[in-house]
Structure formats: structure tokens, C-alpha cells
Structure 1
């Protein structure tokens, strides 16, 4: 099954989203980053999923495990929470794309497990969109993917 990791980045200066598509062995197929214009984190997270699923379909990857560290975006798409009215058209676009997939799962993952997508979403690409393939990945991204493939263990600390 193809894995699509998605994330968004929203700062005072810019909004962007991105993702990485990996095969069933964990090897990267491609990554994408897009300058966004939505001013909400859930909206940007949903745009990342929309763009990633579009890429999967275009490349004939029709069995997809979608992973996001946005619990709200995951819950919206899984139907466990109501979607804000302003995001209904975006949700409808995503669910229409889902009809083209042979199998899908939408899973929430902890931020630590989504570091490659977080790195891509935070890349400063200027305006527009960039698509990257493994030979062109920045070294920091290569290391994050390797850590993920090696199943690096992360420990969360509880703060009081």
C-alpha cells in the first residue's frame, strides 16, 4: 500500500503545505510543497491531503494510507466530527477523489512520526508549487526518511 504523509505549515509570514508519497517498503516516490492561501491550519491540512491524493491517483497509486498529524483533519475525513461549513467544498473535493481509490485508510499519527512531511511543508519554496523526486531531496529530508524507515523511536515527555 502506498503511504501519503501530509502536513501544513502556517506562520505569520506564510502558509504552505506539503507531503511525501512512499511505496510499501517505505522508499520515497516523490514529495511536494505548495504555497497556500488559507489562513486556517485545518484548511491547509486538508489541502495537503487533497493535493497528495491527486498525485497518488495521477501516478496510479490507488491503495493509499493517508497519514496526518492533524487529528481534526483526520476526524473530518473519517466522519467522526462535523466539518465546519467553510471547509465543506474542500472536504467534498477530497471525498470525490476518494471514490477513485481502490482502498484507503486515513490515520492520525503523532507529529514525531510525520517529520518528513513537516519538513517539506515548512520548506520556503516562494510562490507556487514544487515537486521533488528522491535524487533532488535535501540531505535533511533524506535523513528524516531514513530515520522513519529505520523505525527510529521517539519518546514524548509530559509537561506539567
Structure 2
């Protein structure tokens, strides 16, 4: 069970990236190689996520090999001198946080079909910052508004990208 849990994040990243990539390929009138096209960024994110997932799988595989090849006779002093960073594991709370945030991203993407990009992004940023509990509501709203203005100026005015 421990081995399956170790490989789960990498497998999930690869599966999600394949779903994103398939959706990027099915967009109408959008070329995956055109940076101004609507499918370029989702495809780029999918490729990065896939590479990250594969990297996580290889790292976990190497870690498992090292753990299996080590002898069970370790010197106590050696363990005390070197910190044990390899045995850090995610808790169930951390997994639920990641899953909840992933669901929020899916809801954001679905909202883009019904409401304008700027409104959906403002809602997503505000809810995300509240969910991650990093800042007060006042700071949350200011950062969300400034982010939306910067995104709009850079992408729609500078690069002439049309948002959904």
C-alpha cells in the first residue's frame, strides 16, 4: 500500500496531463503550435505536467530501489548526524487540500464557458487566496483586481490575445 501511495501523485499528474492534452487537440480552429492560439497554453501546461509526473515516478522508483538495497544495520550516530529528508510523507489533509484545489480549477475552467474570463478569473483568484488562507480579504481583493488588470493589459492589449 505504501508503494502505491508513493507512485500516486506521478500517475495522477500523467493522467490529468493526458486529459488536458486531448482537450487541447480537440479545440476547433486552434493550432497547438501557434502561441496565439487557444490550445497552445493548455498543451504547454499538459506537456509540463506530464514531464513532471514522469519525473516524480522516476524519483519514487529510485528512492524505492535505494530503500530496498540498503541494509537494515545502520549506525545510530550516522542517522543522528544526517537529517532524514527522504521519509517525509504527505498527510491525508495535504492530499485533500490538493484534491480540493484541483476541483476548484476544474470549476474555474467550466465557468469560463458561462461567464467572461475576467469575471471567472477574479472569482477564482479570490476564492483561491481565501482557500489557501494566506491573506486578509482586503489584500485578497486588491491582489485579485491588480492581477486581472495586469493579465488584461499584458495579454489582450500587448499580445492581442482574445480571452474566452
Which TM-score tier does this pair reach, normalised by the shorter chain? under 0.3
The structure where strand makes up a greater share of residues is 1
The structure where helix makes up a greater share of residues is 2
Bigger Cα Rg: 2
TM-score, length of structure 1 as denominator length = 0.25
TM-score, length of structure 2 as denominator length = 0.24
Higher relative contact order (CA 8 A, sep 6+): 1
